[in-house]
Structure 1
Amino acid sequence: MTEWEDWRRHLRRIGERRLLVLSGSETWAMARAAELCPEDSLWLGPAPAGHEARDPARILRYLGREYPCLVYNAYGGLHPDAFGALLGTVAAGGLVLLLCPPLADWPSYPDPDLARYVALPEQADGLESRFIRRFAALLQQDEQVWLWRQGQPAPALPALPDTPWQRRRDRHGCLNREQRQALACMLHAARRRQPLVLTADRGRGKSSLLGLAAARLLDAGYRVLLTAPSPAAAARALEHSGQRLPFMAPDALLARRPEADLLLVDEAAAIPSAMLLTLARRYCCLFASTEHGYEGTGLGFQLKFQPALARLSPGWRKYHLSEPARWSPRDPLEPLVFRLLALDADPVTPPAGGELRIHRLEPRQLIEDESLLRQLFGLLTLAHYQTRPSDLRQLLDAPGLELVLARLGGIPVAAALLVREGELDPALGQAIWEGRRRPRGHLLPQSLAFHGGFREACRLSYRRIMRIVVHPRCQQQGIGSRLLDWLKRQGGADFLGTSFGASPELLRFWRRNGFQPVRIGLGVDAVSGLHAAMMLWPQSPAARALLPAWLGQFGADLRHHRQGLLRALPDACWRELDLPLPAVSPGQDEPRVRDFAFAHRDLPADQPALVRFLRRTPLPATLPAHQLALLEALLAPGANPAEVARRLGLKGQKDAIQQLRQVVQQLLPPPATDC
């Protein structure tokens, strides 16, 4: 222990951090970690007595803080987003202790995190993790990783350099030249009322600079507010402002609209892009954030928000910090995390010409070819705003995932990720239709059955295109359409389908390739600010026979929602939808109406069917006036059940909907019961 303490002091003196792996039984690993780490360590996952166990999935509450030691118990599940984000909370001279099974056994360990990548829990049974196999191999290749295996003596501690790390603040509070330049840019932007985006990897001092800028502006008489995903995430900015900076949560800002000359937004990538844009319209904002996508909204901040900000404020500015401020530039932990999670993966620049070749790729080929894995993941990251480290694990581990790659001159230039869905057990399909079950996965059949009102949806099979990406330098050359044509020829399901944020450009692309819209989500996505669209291309005779009826029902529902929940959908989207004349039979509406009344179907989704049913059904003359008023209020396009409940003096939204179910029950024969 004397040698250990001397080594720890040396580590603090050089300002670097290290990863220690304790590989063995969970009991042994937790006991060793408790001996090695101070009491104020952050424990993620299961912890021994005397230590508080924290949930790795709830990472936002820890961002913006610093810890001398982070213990990550991977027996509770290796969550890639949490691992990547929270290693940035470890201070200079700090340690990360990773507790895991014996490395040779770890890939086949029943990791609880695998449950996020399967539709049903039993699908994770016996699943070997390629992600963990790669992860463990990279750990063993790194000379700066200290690996202690149970049953073996503690190995020699890694050698440390002798050069001390010195950190001195200048008269402005900055630690290096980059920070001084960034502070000057922030103050200049604030005085000219220009939005500014400050980006950096963790540990570069973004939050500290927000606080320093705020202190200067407050002294000059500016009214400055601070927001962040949580008060804890704003702690460092508040500290460097001298605790003079008023903090308000983003939703409170939008609700109360306080007056301010400047709004500082910390950890901006963890706030939905649509919310950030609303704040940018109301205030002059300085945004600070990472761009690697593990903070909560993927790469939406970089790929969605920043282009939208440029359209809103063409004079916006951006400054990037690259030099670490919270630890030494020689720190080996950050480069290791980037390799483990492919955070620095980049696609290769495509050649000017060559033959386009399209083929399937097996996940095992990615494990065997690290260069190909990084090229592919870089392509996915570059082209999609919701990519995060968990997508790397999904790419390698998710069962039923299909990967198709397009190469130009041997270089990956486009890719499609597909997942097989549907053909659900009839009992499960009926429970989904009625609103009693919502298992993980099977997005298309579940949504089409429960929200779309297509009773047959769960029994059919689908190949859902989760992602289709084309390198930016190869776009507008028809490569995406050629990739779709290749997929159409493969068969293997009733429908080829997709779900995406409904922008006019994407609707046009999918319509041009023969896909038909069958659902538009009634709410907007928190990251993109767009309604979800679902589109299908029929591959089997059964699908081709069924699709016209689905399109007619969808068109009839859409006509109703256009007056209500979809009235804000842009005209350009309506032009791209271009639906046939609505046509729906009573036989299509009646199952929806019955299972709304006697089961748990969704009011907004089934409102059009209920309205059509009531047009055909005479109301009893004995129907009380208050029930008639409830019918009229809740079935009006765009009705807000909570507001209706308040207006009619009911207990709340659930009470209003339950009373509506009871009214509709009176208009139907009772459901059949088994004798």
Structure 2
Amino acid sequence: MLRDVASALREEAQSVNERRLLVLAGDRSDAYDDVATVLDATDLDPAETTLVAHEDTDAAPLTVERVTPRGAGALLGRTRDAVVYDAREECRPNALGRVAGAVDGGGLLVLLTPPLDEWPDRRDRFDEGMAVPPFDVDDVTGRFRDRLVETLHVHRGVAIVDRDASGDGEYAVVDDGLTDPAPRFARPEPESPDEHAFPDAAYDACRTPDQVDAVRAFEALRDQGHALVVEADRGRGKSSAAGIAAACLAAEGQDVLVTAPQYRSAAEVFARAREVLDALDALVGSPGENPRELRADAGGRLRFADPPEAADLPDDPDTVLVDEAAALPVRLLDAFLDAPRAAFTTTVHGYEGAGRGFDVRFRDHLAESDFEVRDVTLDDPIRYAAGDPVEVWAFRALLLDARPPVDPLVDAADPDSVTFTRLTPDALRADEHLLRETFGLLVYAHYRTEPNDLARVLDAPNLSLSALRHEGHVVSVAMLAREGGLDAETRAGMYEGERVKGNMIPDVLTSQLRDESAADPVGFRVVRIATHHAARSRGLGSRLLADCRETVGERGADWFGVGYGATPDLLDFWSRNGFSTVHLSTTRNDTSGEYSAVMLDPLTSEGRRLHGHHAGWFADRVGGVLADALDDLDPDVARAALAACDAEPDPDLSPWQWRVVADAAYGPGLYSVDPEPFRRLAVAALVRDDAPDLSARRERLFVLSLLQHRSWDDVADKLDYHSTGRAMRDLGDALAPLVDAFGDETAREERARFASGDAEGES
């Protein structure tokens, strides 16, 4: 029976160049024998088959490639005849999306599951990862798998075989998965355009007419001042087209810098570029010599750099190619607009990143740039036919195509027109439209939202969602994580170096800042906050935070907090909404290149104690950190972080130190004699509310010279002073009002002495 089902499924898939999904459900121990039967019955080549299962799983009698669920990213950009995902021990949504995309037309995706009616109630390794302290795995729910099972039952092209139908070894075919598809017209063969500048080999490498059009569009990058945006769903060949074109540009002598969230995202670019350079007999060096760099005999090259490094445009590349651009923050994308030429490829739907930041904010910046911009969209799948049932199922099951409400439904929203709603997991599971709007807004507004987050939204006990709704539609949404409230044993383990999941702020305060009591108070951290692009800049985010603050207080929270990649605008936003800086990370995020800020908004006496301790300590230590680990921090980020710190640091200078500072402000004193009192005074000036007002330029001057100890040449250059001497004199002038505001009797005497001398000289 199993052989017949598998054989018919494979035959139908091959007849129309589509994929099919075969679910083998049950607890019997011989699951891999059944998989071997499927491979044998369908003539699927074990060498072109991948098993996704944990390393400790005995997969006999299969002799196929193996990867773990966490390692399923290795399948990105690859094509397999069959992929078998053993989801019995761990159903990881990200892995499910990755394996579905790897199966070629005519192939099978085989999913091993527990009995489907029992699966939602079982707990697996992914569930254990959601059981963050103080919760345990029994607190995790099964709504995601309940919905997943529903999609398996209702979608076409999904065969379900119950392996536990009876005790006599017989199987029950719940659904044979056959769709009886209508005959398909043959896909048009790609042809070289009538006129083209790239070599024929480039167009010979294309697999669809769409791809030909995309490669032809890349020819514009032979000239400076051009930019290209290539959009497509997964499996349409956008990265391949980019690789083909990049090889041609390198063969003409261009230096092409490639970047992506991870190298694996761009691996297909380099694979196709190598093939084309080989076909052109232009490749220099042996295969595999350096997978992240290819050289051409004309002197051109392709080279990969991680996004923060690439944003500095190292070695002045001729062209920058950004693969999976929507998965990068807008700040980094903006940096690539300084290149002579640029291309951006991005996935329309998919976990690689479909952030609305690219579609809305960066698109505006690109349109305002000096580039002549061209857009290309690839619609035709390369690996399988359009309308493929497995793709349709994966999009629905993982909400890869979820979208926020269309603009006209929410473009009149304002703080007075919206209602605040706690979006419970039960409500989201019961209302598919509400779930799609909510998750779609998270996907479009944040470049890191992924299928794993869908399971967390539905099942994780520490997460909760709240939203503002305009006429029933979600216009703003916040994802909150409960943190802290940990017992003494857990706190001690965290203090001694153990990693405690799902408690980001308590972990930072405890393990890095050495406060063992910090994980005792209960707090809620804002993990994501997103407002529909059609209703931004109207105060909706602030309204949502205010409502969330009230509800978490009612739920017993001591503090409200947030951690994020710090930019001046974001620091200002969170500060305006009552959050205060308590920490800046000392390492940059690998993808965004930003330092992270941690901010707290205390709600109870315990929260105020925690906040007061760490805000005060931040103000005390930040000067030293800026002179060391953060000596390259953007001065505007430093200014905003310090301004957002709710503390009152006292310069606490001795009479001698006040004399040194006052003499530098009013007389011939030198900053270099004793930098320490100047540093303390600069922190007070930037943090305290009662400090004299300083211009933005002078605040930057304090950060660069007094706190980060940059060279005077560097200071003068960055702040556009005509000379280092002018910068030094302005520093003295900027110190004067601080001496007036905070100085002791010694400072006042020194000021009077030199002010008097100036007056006598003038007379």
1:324-335 correspondence runs (5 A): 324-335=381-392
1:350 aligns with 2:414: no
Greater CA drift, 148-157 or 240-249: 240-249
Match of 2:513 in 1: 452
Over 3 Å counting, the alpha-carbon distance change for 1:297 and 1:42 in structure 2 is farther
Match of 2:543 in 1: 482
Match of 2:148 in 1: 135
Greater CA drift, 144-153 or 544-553: 544-553
Deviations, residues 61-94 of structure 1 (Å, cap 9, x unaligned): 2222111111111123122122213322211111
State the TM-score, normalized to the length of structure 1.
0.78
1: CA distance, partners of 2:604 / 2:253: 69
Match of 1:170 in 2: 191
Over 3 Å counting, the alpha-carbon distance change for 1:306 and 1:408 in structure 2 is closer
2: CA distance, partners of 1:82 / 1:17: 18
Residue type matched to 2:216 in 1?
A: A
Residue type matched to 1:424 in 2?
A: L
1:556 aligns with 2:620: yes
Residue type matched to 1:451 in 2?
A: Q
Identity %: 34
1:160 aligns with 2:172: no
Match of 2:602 in 1: 538
Match of 1:21 among 2, 20, 23: 23
1:208 aligns with 2:272: no
SS of alignment partner, residue 358 of structure 1:
strand
Q: Is the 8 A contact 2:346 2:354 kept in 1?
A: no
Over 3 Å counting, the alpha-carbon distance change for 1:266 and 1:339 in structure 2 is same
SS of alignment partner, residue 76 of structure 1:
coil
Match of 1:571 in 2: 635
Over 3 Å counting, the alpha-carbon distance change for 1:63 and 1:276 in structure 2 is farther
1:578-593 correspondence runs (5 A): 578=643, 579=645, 580-582=647-649
1:383 aligns with 2:464: no
Over 3 Å counting, the alpha-carbon distance change for 1:3 and 1:96 in structure 2 is closer
2: CA distance, partners of 1:455 / 1:5: 61
1: CA distance, partners of 2:304 / 2:624: 36
Deviations, residues 472-502 of structure 1 (Å, cap 9, x unaligned): 2222222222222222323111111111221
Over 3 Å counting, the alpha-carbon distance change for 1:256 and 1:415 in structure 2 is closer
Q: Is the 8 A contact 1:269 1:293 kept in 2?
A: no
1:81-100 correspondence runs (5 A): 81-100=94-113
Over 3 Å counting, the alpha-carbon distance change for 1:193 and 1:35 in structure 2 is farther
Match of 1:661 in 2: none
Match of 1:42 in 2: 50
> Residue 547 of structure 1: CA displacement?
2.9
2: CA distance, partners of 1:153 / 1:309: 56
1: CA distance, partners of 2:25 / 2:148: 13
Residue type matched to 2:305 in 1?
A: P
Match of 1:404 among 462, 466, 474: 466
SS of alignment partner, residue 388 of structure 2:
coil
2: CA distance, partners of 1:476 / 1:96: 45
Over 3 Å counting, the alpha-carbon distance change for 1:166 and 1:382 in structure 2 is same
Over 3 Å counting, the alpha-carbon distance change for 1:277 and 1:469 in structure 2 is closer
1:157-556 correspondence runs (5 A): 157-164=177-184, 166-167=186-187, 168-171=189-192, 172-173=203-204, 174-192=206-224, 194-214=226-246, 216-217=248-249, 220=252, 222=254, 229-230=263-264, 233=268, 234-242=270-278, 246=294, 248-250=303-305, 261-262=318-319, 264=321, 266=323, 284-295=341-352, 314-348=371-405, 349-350=409-410, 352=412, 355-434=417-496, 436-490=497-551, 491=553, 492-556=556-620
Q: Is the 8 A contact 1:299 1:384 kept in 2?
A: yes
Over 3 Å counting, the alpha-carbon distance change for 1:519 and 1:326 in structure 2 is same
Q: Is the 8 A contact 1:406 1:412 kept in 2?
A: yes
Residue type matched to 2:275 in 1?
A: E
Deviations, residues 117-156 of structure 1 (Å, cap 9, x unaligned): 2324971246331111111111101132111111234454
**Stretches of structure 1 lacking an aligned partner (at least 5 in a row):** 586-607, 613-636, 640-675
> Residue 186 of structure 1: CA displacement?
0.8
2: CA distance, partners of 1:271 / 1:547: 32
SS of alignment partner, residue 20 of structure 1:
strand
> Residue 356 of structure 1: CA displacement?
1.9
**Stretches of structure 2 lacking an aligned partner (at least 5 in a row):** 166-170, 193-202, 284-293, 295-301, 653-675, 681-706, 710-763
1:68 aligns with 2:81: yes
> Residue 208 of structure 1: CA displacement?
3.1
Residue type matched to 2:271 in 1?
A: A
Deviations, residues 395-443 of structure 1 (Å, cap 9, x unaligned): 0011122222211222211122212111212132123224x21111111
> Residue 392 of structure 1: CA displacement?
0.7
2: CA distance, partners of 1:184 / 1:382: 29
Match of 1:617 in 2: none
2: CA distance, partners of 1:471 / 1:359: 16
2: CA distance, partners of 1:191 / 1:346: 37
1: CA distance, partners of 2:134 / 2:65: 28
Over 3 Å counting, the alpha-carbon distance change for 1:533 and 1:316 in structure 2 is farther
SS of alignment partner, residue 390 of structure 1:
helix
2: CA distance, partners of 1:217 / 1:282: 15
Over 3 Å counting, the alpha-carbon distance change for 1:161 and 1:184 in structure 2 is same
Q: Is the 8 A contact 1:26 1:99 kept in 2?
A: no
C-alpha RMSD over aligned residues: 3.5
Q: Is the 8 A contact 2:120 2:146 kept in 1?
A: yes
Q: Is the 8 A contact 2:211 2:241 kept in 1?
A: yes
2: CA distance, partners of 1:226 / 1:540: 50
1: CA distance, partners of 2:451 / 2:23: 20
Over 3 Å counting, the alpha-carbon distance change for 1:457 and 1:221 in structure 2 is closer
> Residue 115 of structure 1: CA displacement?
2.7
Over 3 Å counting, the alpha-carbon distance change for 1:232 and 1:59 in structure 2 is farther
Q: Is the 8 A contact 1:30 1:99 kept in 2?
A: no
2: CA distance, partners of 1:267 / 1:351: 29
SS of alignment partner, residue 195 of structure 1:
strand
Residue type matched to 1:343 in 2?
A: L
Q: Is the 8 A contact 1:77 1:112 kept in 2?
A: yes
Residue type matched to 1:111 in 2?
A: D
State the TM-score, normalized to the length of structure 2.
0.70
Over 3 Å counting, the alpha-carbon distance change for 1:3 and 1:32 in structure 2 is closer
1: CA distance, partners of 2:571 / 2:160: 51
Q: Is the 8 A contact 2:320 2:341 kept in 1?
A: yes
